[in-house]
Amino acid sequence: MKILGFLPPGIPYVFRTLFSVVLAPLSVLFAVDVLRTRFSVQIPIWVSALLCIVSIPLLFAARVVWKSQQEKQEAKRMGARFAPVMNGNWPGNVDVLLEFVRSSRNDYPGEVQLGWMAHLGTNVMDLRVLWEDILFTTEPEHIKAILATDFQNFIKGDKFKYSMRSVLGTGVFNADGDMWKFHRSMTRPFFSRDRISHFDIFDRHAEDAIARMKERFRSGYAINFQDLASRFTLDSATEFLFGNDVRSLASPLPYPYSAPAAERSNVGLSHAEQFARAFAESQEIIADRSRVGATWPLQEMFKDKTKDPMKVVNGYIEPILREALEKKPSTEERGANGEKMEVEEGETLLDNLVKFTSDPIVLKDEILNILIAGRDTTASTLTFAIYLLAMHPPVLAKLRSEIMELIGPSRRPTYDDIRDMKFLRAVINETLRLFPVVPFNIRESVNSTTLPSSNPTEKPIYVPARTSTSYSVFLMHRRTDLWGPDAAEFDPDRFIDERLKKYLTPHPFIFVPFNAGPRICLGQQFAYNEMSFMLIRLFQSFSSVTLSPSSHPPGTLPPPEWSSAKGRKGIEKFWPKSHLTMYSLGGLWVNMEEAKDA
Ligand code: HEM
């Protein structure tokens, strides 16, 4: 694969496929030749040609039947049953695949999977696309097995890694085994309690962001909160991880769609915005690859679609990298310092990383993965929190009272303040429940295994070796049988009142926005601190939030036909979309009123 790395992905795919296709006719030709030379049996040319043609589907069918027989025997040996299969009408379930791709692009997240599972009366199903098993589950016990109890047996896997490689490289999100351990062990020391409990970085960038917001509101325009939150988290994450912030908050804010064209055209795309757009575009492309499945290279026959956006992304990252490498002490200096390889006081993640490798590819991959982890996740969660608070003014009023009571209108919050703010934590958790930023995820089984059945009288579910196993935290977090009849409602008190003991405490795996097990999010505490800090600072400064639908670019609000749908799809006022992480299509345009008590 590496030798052919310069070719667009479609060409090696076609060659690989052709190779396996021509095996059958070649075998036929060989057999015909043996019959003729050894046994003097003459086969007419037209018969040989016909045999060559039919050998291709026959061999394929034989492989499918053989595999299915093997799996049946193995499932029986393991005392397991097959997951219910979502049967489409077209051979190979091609219609199921097409419906899945269409829905991922145009519908509310998870709608099509919910419909199929309701049809099958199950929370786990096999989509069996192109005769390959693809499991999909929303069962907490399955998610627990995949992430924790059977962790060694569920890896990211080659299929996933190949489709993500042109963007994520071999960074922490796209690595298994030793490479994953290397990235993880490099990154972990930077999230120690000591390092994440100093809030100077958040304070400076939050102050900057709020000043920009006030300025824009005073000029009579709404702001795109998603854009602002992304700049706040990008500047905070780059300063925390790389020592220098990229000053994305310094560039002019975009104007709403409804603003006069003259205002809008005054704001060119800043360097940070070009990076953000290209970054989002490349994530969209790789997410689309994983939706289409193994045949994705066919969509990229003549060009790797990520090539152009990744040029912009790399152009943004390379100067950060160059600077770190220039600062890197030489081998002699390191020798004189007694080869201090452990993390030192004041050292950033990047300073530490360059002590271990000068390989620009490894360094770039690490930086890019950590930027996705550190920017998009907290920016989206803050955006969803602001959206939900705009939709629920009594919840916002309760949150503000907690802020005013414990911290007051202007004091800077401390680590201890944040730890004591029970309602603020509940608001963040409730936001992560309804809108977990990694809504869908996937692993691949190494060996055949089983997943427990929720009904103890039923046999466990059989998972063949090398099966793509996807799970949705997003759909699990909204299940009424796990969270109660009001699961679709935004009600942070469920993380405080008797519902906590009833639902979550006895079943902690029903809430896993940060995943769980050995690959649990490394930045979880950093993220809680950053989001809490920003929300406190925001609601010290502003007393109310309202959505500004007229500011949205056309085509980015939920289509009118959604309003008759059941559940959250029917009430949503923004369009949740997801590539690797979830975001609001077209941003989130809001107005806020400055607090009189600030
Ligand atoms: C609301 C905020 C966040 C959420 C909901 C979140 C969620 C997650 C999830 C679900 C994963 C697992 C992905 C997978 O294995 O497929 C993950 C991994 C990770 N997260 Fe976060 N994250 C957040 C913020 C952050 C921040 C701010 C950082 C760092 C600055 C960070 C660093 C990481 C890293 C390094 C991993 C990779 C762990 C591994 O594969 O071993 N996260 N996060």
Same-domain pairing of 238 and 360:
yes
Who's near 102: CB < 8 A, 6+ residues apart? none
**115 CA to middle of ligand 1, Å?**
29
User: Encoding tokens for residue 238?
Assistant: 């780059």
Number of domains in the chain: 2
Closest ligand 1 atom, residue 241 Cα: 30
Does ligand 1 lie within 6 Å of residue 519's CB atom? yes
At position 119, the amino acid (one-letter code) is: H
Mean pLDDT confidence for 193-198: 80
- The answer to the question of whether 521 is labelled as a binding residue is yes
Does ligand 1 lie within 6 Å of residue 516's CB atom? no
| Residue of the CA atom closest to atom 11 of ligand 1 | 521
Return the minimum-mean-pLDDT range out of 239-243, 256-260, 266-270, 314-318: 266-270
Does ligand 1 lie within 6 Å of residue 515's CB atom? yes
Task: Report CA torsion sign: 22, 26, 27, 28.
Answer: positive
Say yes or no to pLDDT of 339 above 60: no
Distances (CA, A) of 231 to 225, 227, 250, 375, 553: 10, 6, 9, 8, 20
* Cα gap 241→349, rounded to integer Å: 5
173, 369 Cβ separation under 8 angstroms:
yes
The 8-class DSSP code of residue 373 comes to I
Q: Is 15 part of any domain?
A: yes
* Cα gap 350→326, rounded to integer Å: 12
Q: Is 485 part of any domain?
A: no
Does ligand 1 lie within 6 Å of residue 385's CB atom? no
Mean pLDDT confidence for 437-451: 97
| Residue of the CA atom closest to atom 14 of ligand 1 | 173
Return the minimum-mean-pLDDT range out of 44-58, 313-327, 374-388, 392-406: 313-327
Strands (E), 79-221: 124-126, 134-137, 154-155
246, 208 Cβ separation under 8 angstroms:
no
Span 200-236, pLDDT tens digits: 999 999 999 999 999 999 999 999 999 999 999 999 9
Same-domain pairing of 59 and 187:
no
Closest ligand 1 atom, residue 473 Cα: 10
| Residue of the CA atom closest to atom 6 of ligand 1 | 514
287, 275 Cβ separation under 8 angstroms:
no
**290 CA to middle of ligand 1, Å?**
19
Say yes or no to pLDDT of 394 above 60: yes
Same-domain pairing of 429 and 553:
yes
Q: What is the mean pLDDT of the chain?
A: 92
Same-domain pairing of 59 and 197:
no
**376 CA to middle of ligand 1, Å?**
10
Supply the pLDDT for residue 70: 97
Does ligand 1 lie within 6 Å of residue 470's CB atom? no
Does ligand 1 lie within 6 Å of residue 175's CB atom? no
Say yes or no to pLDDT of 588 above 50: yes
124, 135 Cβ separation under 8 angstroms:
yes
Q: Judging by DSSP bridges, how do beta strands 134-137 and 124-126 pair with one another? A: antiparallel
Q: Tell me which residue range forms the domain holding 258.
A: 179-438+513-594
Query: Could you tell me if residue 484 is left (phi over 0), alpha (psi between -120 and 50 degrees) or otherwise beta?
Result: left
* Cα gap 362→171, rounded to integer Å: 7
Same-domain pairing of 65 and 193:
no
Query: Could you tell me if residue 463 is left (phi over 0), alpha (psi between -120 and 50 degrees) or otherwise beta?
Result: beta
* Cα gap 6→8, rounded to integer Å: 7
| Residue of the CA atom closest to atom 39 of ligand 1 | 519
Percent of the chain beyond pLDDT 90?
A: 72
| Residue of the CA atom closest to atom 9 of ligand 1 | 514
- Residue 34 φ/ψ, nearest 5 degrees: -65, -45
28 CB burial (10 A radius; 0-12, 13-18, 19+) = buried
Which mutation among 147, 196, 377, 519 tests ligand 1's pocket best, with the greatest number of atoms within 8 A of CB? 377
**226 CA to middle of ligand 1, Å?**
19
Does ligand 1 lie within 6 Å of residue 437's CB atom? yes
Does ligand 1 lie within 6 Å of residue 184's CB atom? yes
Does ligand 1 lie within 6 Å of residue 213's CB atom? no
Does ligand 1 lie within 6 Å of residue 439's CB atom? no
Does ligand 1 lie within 6 Å of residue 568's CB atom? no
pLDDT classification of 505: cutoffs 50, 70, 90: very high
Q: Which residues pair with 470 in a beta bridge?
A: 136, 442
337 CB burial (10 A radius; 0-12, 13-18, 19+) = exposed
Does ligand 1 lie within 6 Å of residue 532's CB atom? no
Q: Which residues pair with 134 in a beta bridge?
A: 468
Supply the pLDDT for residue 294: 83
**516 CA to middle of ligand 1, Å?**
10
User: Encoding tokens for residue 390?
Assistant: 């705009």
Q: Is 475 part of any domain?
A: no
- For residue 100, the tally of other CB atoms under 10 A from its CB is 22
Among 52, 77, 102, the domain-final residue is 77
Does ligand 1 lie within 6 Å of residue 527's CB atom? yes
Say yes or no to pLDDT of 4 above 60: no
Percent of the chain beyond pLDDT 70?
A: 95
Same-domain pairing of 408 and 544:
yes
Closest ligand 1 atom, residue 512 Cα: 10
Q: Give residue 363's Cα distance to chain centre.
A: 21
Supply the pLDDT for residue 267: 62
Tokens 């071999």 label which residue? 170
Mean pLDDT confidence for 529-558: 97
Span 60-111, pLDDT tens digits: 999 999 999 999 999 999 999 999 999 999 999 999 999 999 999 999 999 9
Return the minimum-mean-pLDDT range out of 265-279, 299-313, 433-447: 265-279
Among 77, 94, 124, the domain-final residue is 77
Reference 177, options 160, 152, 147; nearest CA is: 152
**169 CA to middle of ligand 1, Å?**
17
Mean pLDDT confidence for 153-179: 95
Does ligand 1 lie within 6 Å of residue 378's CB atom? yes
Mean pLDDT confidence for 34-63: 92
Closest ligand 1 atom, residue 380 Cα: 1
Does ligand 1 lie within 6 Å of residue 579's CB atom? no
**514 CA to middle of ligand 1, Å?**
6
Q: What is the 3-state secondary structure (H, E, C) of 165-190?
A: HHHHCCCHHHCCHHHHHHHHHHHHHH
Q: Is 115 part of any domain?
A: no
CATH at 366? 1.10.630.10
Span 107-146, pLDDT tens digits: 999 999 999 999 999 999 999 999 999 999 999 999 999 9
Say yes or no to pLDDT of 2 above 70: no
Q: Is 532 part of any domain?
A: yes
Q: Is 103 part of any domain?
A: no
CA geometry: angle 413, 417, 421, nearest 5 deg: 115
Does ligand 1 lie within 6 Å of residue 233's CB atom? no
Supply the pLDDT for residue 508: 97
pLDDT classification of 502: cutoffs 50, 70, 90: very high
**284 CA to middle of ligand 1, Å?**
18
Does ligand 1 lie within 6 Å of residue 513's CB atom? yes
Which mutation among 435, 476, 521 tests ligand 1's pocket best, with the greatest number of atoms within 8 A of CB? 521
pLDDT classification of 3: cutoffs 50, 70, 90: very low
Mean pLDDT confidence for 524-550: 97
| Residue of the CA atom closest to atom 20 of ligand 1 | 521
Mean pLDDT confidence for 502-515: 98
* Cα gap 136→405, rounded to integer Å: 46
| Residue of the CA atom closest to atom 28 of ligand 1 | 523
Same-domain pairing of 545 and 417:
yes
Does ligand 1 lie within 6 Å of residue 511's CB atom? no
Same-domain pairing of 201 and 69:
no
* Cα gap 511→504, rounded to integer Å: 7
Q: Is 378 part of any domain?
A: yes
* Cα gap 243→536, rounded to integer Å: 25
**581 CA to middle of ligand 1, Å?**
10
Does ligand 1 lie within 6 Å of residue 438's CB atom? yes
Q: Is 397 part of any domain?
A: yes
85, 131 Cβ separation under 8 angstroms:
no
Among 55, 77, 99, the domain-final residue is 77
